[in-house]
Amino acid sequence: MNFVEQETQGRVRLVFLNRPDKRNALSAELADAVQAALLAADRDPRIGAIVLAARGPTFCAGGDLAEFHQLSQRDPATLYDQGRAGVGLFGLPAVLGTPVVAAVHGHVLGGGMGLLLVAHLAVAAAGTRFGLPEMERGLFPYTVFPLLVRAVGERRALALALSARSWEAGEALEWGLVDDVVPEPQVLGHALALAQRMAAVSPLVVRTGLEAARAGMDALDTRMDHLVLLRNLALSSPDLRERASRFLAGHGPEGSPS
């Protein structure tokens, strides 16, 4: 199975998460495939913008809890290596020179919020639900948190992460997490139109503009190292193993529920 599907329309590369049977739960394989696709598009001189979307009824239901449960059984060195590799996707805002527009629908939870925040712009379908349910699973959204702080500020980011509540597209628009809310059938077309507009201007201006916007993100890679260590500490806790086991027994291996 191809975890990512890609299309090219003019100077726009469309990247689709393609794990719909698991609600596009962000497994290590899916994360690697998305990261590779975004980096390949960024390096392609024919591509001026990227749309990140998903197949199926949900954009991304969060991290794959079956994988988290397996990780909690591994030794610290292996856990660190795998964890560091897995967060490379969320470090992309510090390196991408090609604008990314996220087109989201259904649910955007946990690691799905990380994907949303990797994008420079976002369009959401009316009715989309967002959330960071990690606290209910015995975790904190460690590697997503720096991107969330950058988007909405530390106080709101903490409130969203600690409460584990979900919120609707209108609130996401009000807080600046998305830039437009449209009827679901229009989401992909609206995102594509935004991407085509950016792809039509000078690539040098776009790249230097994104570099200017990245000022202050130089330390993101170092912070990710620290956050991986914190996440690994939480992964080793009996509480996480118990909560993950209970959830998997009732719901299967897909990501966090709404």
3-class secondary structure, 177: coil
- Tokens representing 209 are 């503009």
The Cα 253–Cα 175 span in angstroms is 31
Kind of pairing, strands 129-131 and 166-168? antiparallel
The Cα 91–Cα 219 span in angstroms is 10
- Tokens representing 131 are 């959330």
CB-based burial of residue 129 (10 Å sphere; 0-12 exposed, 13-18 middle, 19+ buried)? middle
* Among 29, 67, 134, 168, the one annotated catalytic: 134
> Between helices 111-118 and 28-43, what is the axis angle to 10°?
0
Q: Position of tokens 């090219």?
A: 8
**Does residue 211 have an active-site annotation?**
no
Kind of pairing, strands 12-17 and 4-9? antiparallel
Q: Is the CB of residue 240 less than 8 Å from the CB of residue 139?
A: yes
- Tokens representing 219 are 């330390």
What are the backbone angles phi and psi of residue 20, rounded to the nearest 5°?
Answer: -65, -30
Q: Is the CB of residue 88 less than 8 Å from the CB of residue 137?
A: no
- Tokens representing 187 are 């989401």
Q: Which residues are catalytic?
A: 134
